[in-house]
Amino acid sequence: MNEALADLIRISNVMGKDSTLVQGGGGNTSVKSADGKYMYIKASGTALKDMTTKKGWRRLRLDSVLSIIKDKSIVRLDAQAREIEVVNRLLLACDDEVTSGARPSVESHLHAFLDRCVIHLHPIAVGAYVNAKNGKAKLGKLFKGTAPPKRLSQGGRPLAGTSKSLPSLWVPYTDPGFTLAKRIEKLVVHYENRFGKKPAILFLQKHGLFISADTADAALRLVRKIIKLCSSKLKKPKAHKPKTLVYEDIVAAKLAIRKAVFDATGQYLPVDYFLTTEPLAAFMRRKDAAKLLATPAMNPDELVYANGSAIWLGPRKRKKNGVRKPLENCNVNTITRKLRALVNKGQKPAAAFLVKGMGLFVAAPKKAAPVIAEITLCSLLVRTYAAKFGGVLALTKREQDFINNWEAEAFRKKLASGDREGELKNRIAVVTGAGSGLGRSIAISLARAGAMVGLADIDTEAAEETAALIKGDSGEECATGEQAEVIAVQCNVTSEASIRRGFKAVLGNWGGLDILVNAAGPVRDPTGKVSNGAGVAPAYPLVDMPVDKWRLALEVNLTGYFLVAKEAARIMIQQGMGGSIINISSKSGLEASRNNTAYNATKAGEIHMARGWALELGEYGIRVNCLAPGDVFEGPRIWNPEYIKVCAKKYGIKPEEVIPYYVSKTALNREITGHDIADSVVFLCSDRARTITGQTLAPLEIFPF
């Protein structure tokens, strides 16, 4: 392996595994080749800990990168055009066999004129100083081994360093990207002219730490030395044991936050809860917690990933009689008001919410939530420390605007969040019977439309197969991609306890519910065999119908739909954001078919139940509709060879003539597929159908027979 690449992966993994040094996808590393021709650098949006010899980096021609800084024509461009030009030039400077489209770090030109090994981190211990009003002065006293030289041009001021001979370099806040690179270039040139060597330590105000050294080991040692020295003057907050919360309170808080985010921004977002840690519990006990969180983002990462500081949700006044319960701090109207206040100030709506007595909640795409939580928890410590050094030094409105409009940061955030488009983007759905047949087709289409889907099925293995199909793990054509959000949920629709456990899993994972599709169908018998449709469509003449088959059809088709809808409606009402419930009925619910007493009755019942639910739930904004498709032959377990033989006997035709016979009965004389039905479901769940409720759609017109 190339020595430079090996060093890059080693220092990246060592630093990236420590969340006190770098959070989420932040931080950067680079190593130059021994001949000085190339520079290996972290790819934009990649977490340091995730880098390997095969991914997460790019190799650039060093002379091409340095030429970007020297090109005066770039300086004359406006900010937006300039940053896009830099991104394109950095891509052109790449000289490797990477085909994934990964971008080299936007700080590549900055790394280019520093020493061989460069480590850029956002350590909590350093953040305490660079994000504090008096942080520069505190660092000057802390690093007092050498008297600081005269002020350098461009506002740079060396601080006394850990080395006996060379000071560190203080870099006042500068807009990231090309402007920062140009400023540091001038500071480094002045520094090198004065001391004969490039600076090894750079403290960037409102940003972080840069370490530059000849070797990887020297860079790692220097990082540890700086962190130890900076930490020596920081007193850790007193630990407090977190409170134990009940599940119902956590769910209620999630639903309240999700509703408030929707009211304030119109966005559907999942909500995650992160277990309260001792430092977090200690922060929530601080009397100045609200004040510490009142300032905007301290640095670019906090702004880009978490949309700024967390919103504090604590009691305004303590009740005279009794103790205020933690859940009372999580009021929908209060959260909505706070979010709207941020937007009115031109800031982004916060993604993190700190509820006193409960803990940290994050409203964001599932992939981004852990990153936001990590950044927020570290921010709480930095703010606590900065309060001792004159107070928090936050980004100004102008500085925030630049970062918010910077394409490079938008690119990083998109990578971190796994953001997907689709008309059902971030809606939370549950599909029963998702392990096969129509349920599987519907689940796939909902995921393709951007929804997060709970795949509920009594057959967990089948649900997992659907999950693999959606995520692309199975290698089949209908994969929606790695970014799809789905979970397999074991659920027996005839058991209230099983249904509650299923919805508990969905709420625990995403914190809400917007869509329910009742599509449960045939089940496996105790031997593991799939029934021939007798579970829900027992095909018998009236005089031969076994009563146990009749009762089983009622239990799955009616009781199952009723119980699942009952639990879903309770959640949707509590959430207060409306919703959509869809019953998958059948043509037999509209026009009876021969020798199908149980199926005719139950499918008609599903339609009538939905009409009644539409009347009941309309006041809560919950729409309820039905689909009554004709026969779907691909996928459903009911259409197995045994059931086809039963149908052939019923109509006096050969088994191979059954499907063509059914198709010939349609007005369009074409076979309907599971995805035809699924497209109708997506429509009914979307805002395009916002005024449609209590209706029954027949995706393919049929004739009675």
Could you read off the pLDDT of 209-248 as tens digits, one per residue? 999 999 999 999 999 999 999 999 998 888 788 778 888 9
Strand-pair partners of 637: none
Tokens 């350590």 map to which residue? 123
Residue 703 pLDDT > 50: no
**107 vs 91: CA distance, rounded Å:** 13
Residue 477 pLDDT > 90: no
Looking only at the bridges linking them, the beta strands covering 271-274 and 117-121 are unpaired
* Residues in contact with 574: Cβ distance below 8 Å, sequence separation at least 6, in sequence order: 252, 255
In contact, 57 and 15? CB cutoff 8 Å: no
Q: What share of the chain is helix, strand, coil (3-state, %, to 5)?
A: 45, 15, 40
Query: Worst-scoring range by mean pLDDT, 6-10, 170-174, 421-425, 556-560?
Result: 421-425
Domains and CATH numbers, the chain: 3-231 (3.40.225.10), 247-417 (3.40.225), 428-697 (3.40.50.720)
- What's the token pair of residue 637? 């377990």
- What's the token pair of residue 647? 């149908």
Residue 704 pLDDT > 50: no
Q: Could you report the per-residue pLDDT of 317-365, keeping only the tens digit for each?
A: 555 555 557 778 889 999 999 999 999 988 889 999 999 989 999 999 9
Confidence of residue 475 (pLDDT cuts 50, 70, 90): very low
**674 vs 316: CA distance, rounded Å:** 54
Picking from 538, 668, 697, the residue whose alpha carbon sits closest to that of residue 602 is: 538
In contact, 270 and 365? CB cutoff 8 Å: yes
**124 vs 230: CA distance, rounded Å:** 9
Q: What is the pTM of this model?
A: 0.84
In contact, 435 and 385? CB cutoff 8 Å: no
The share of the chain scoring above pLDDT 90, in percent, equals 62
In contact, 437 and 636? CB cutoff 8 Å: yes
662 is catalytic: no
Arithmetic mean of pLDDT, 53-63: 94
What's the pLDDT score for residue 376?
Answer: 95
Picking from 351, 335, 363, 367, the residue whose alpha carbon sits closest to that of residue 297 is: 351
Picking from 385, 367, 207, the residue whose alpha carbon sits closest to that of residue 301 is: 207
In contact, 616 and 654? CB cutoff 8 Å: no
Query: Greatest CA span in the chain, whole angstroms?
Result: 104
b/e per residue 128-143 (b: at least 16 CB within 10 A): bbbbbeebbebbbebb
Q: Could you report the per-residue pLDDT of 613-629, keeping only the tens digit for each?
A: 999 999 999 999 999 98
Contacts of range 501-507, beta carbons closer than 8 Å, 24 or more positions apart: 502/430, 502/454, 502/456, 503/430, 503/567, 503/568, 503/571, 504/247, 505/454, 506/428, 506/430, 506/454, 507/251, 507/254, 507/571
In contact, 524 and 459? CB cutoff 8 Å: yes
**521 vs 505: CA distance, rounded Å:** 21
Confidence of residue 557 (pLDDT cuts 50, 70, 90): very high
DSSP letters spanning 223-270:
HHHHHHHHHTT-PPPPP-PPPP--HHHHHHHHHHHHHHHHHHH-----
Taking CA atoms, 24 is separated from 378, 469, 644, in Å, by 11, 29, 55
For 420, other C-beta atoms within 10 Å of its C-beta total: 20
Q: Could you report the per-residue pLDDT of 122-153, keeping only the tens digit for each?
A: 999 999 999 999 999 999 888 764 333 444 43
Picking from 490, 13, 481, 360, the residue whose alpha carbon sits closest to that of residue 220 is: 13
Taking CA atoms, 315 is separated from 289, 319, 332, in Å, by 12, 9, 14
- What's the token pair of residue 391? 């107070």
* CA angle 484–610–263, rounded 5-degree value: 55
Tally of residues, the chain:
705
**317 vs 311: CA distance, rounded Å:** 18
Please give the single-letter amino acid code of residue 323.
Answer: V
* Residues in contact with 198: Cβ distance below 8 Å, sequence separation at least 6, in sequence order: 113, 114, 115, 188, 191, 192, 212
Tokens 């033989």 map to which residue? 645
Looking only at the bridges linking them, the beta strands covering 696-697 and 157-159 are unpaired
Catalytic residue among 305, 599, 643, 662: 599
What's the pLDDT score for residue 407?
Answer: 55
CA atoms within 13 A on the CB side of 124: 22
DSSP letters spanning 335-388:
HHHHHHHHHHTTPPPPSEEEETTTEEEEES-TTTHHHHHHHHHHHHHHHHHHGG
Tokens 């869809």 map to which residue? 582
In contact, 576 and 260? CB cutoff 8 Å: no
What's the pLDDT score for residue 574?
Answer: 96
